[in-house]
Amino acid sequence: MFSYDRDSILQLDKIQQICPLLNIVDRQAIMGEIRDVLLKSLKDNPEVLEKLEMNESDEKTKAILQLILKEIQDDPEYSGVNH
């Protein structure tokens, strides 16, 4: 069994507080990378959006497509994508 002094306990407490924040930051970075790859792919292949719009989709797919289109319209780098 370990014996902790006051400083070790405070350090451990700080680490426990920081770890969840680092996980959130890491997750956001990964999501940002996924978003960038998706938007670049759609910019390079606009026919994918056309096919998604033309096919009869369920409500969930339509909602996801609308979110993607909004992201594209709101992003200056990708706003030139026609849909």
Domain that holds residue 5: 1-44
pTM above 0.75, yes or no: no
Does 9 score more than 50 pLDDT? yes
Higher pLDDT, 68 or 82: 68
**CB–CB of 13/6 below 8 Å?**
no
**CB–CB of 10/45 below 8 Å?**
no
Give the Å distances, CA to CA, from 1 to 12, 15, 36: 16, 20, 48
Does 59 score more than 50 pLDDT? yes
Mark 29-64 as b/e (b = at least 16 C-beta within 10 Å): eeeeeeeeeebeebbeeeeebeebeeeeeeeeeeee
83 is a domain residue? no
70 is a domain residue? yes
Residues 24 and 59 in one domain: no
Residues 15 and 33 in one domain: yes
Residues 52 and 69 in one domain: yes
Residues 55 and 34 in one domain: no
Per-residue pLDDT band at 18 (split at 50, 70, 90): confident
Residues 33 and 53 in one domain: no
Residues 35 and 59 in one domain: no
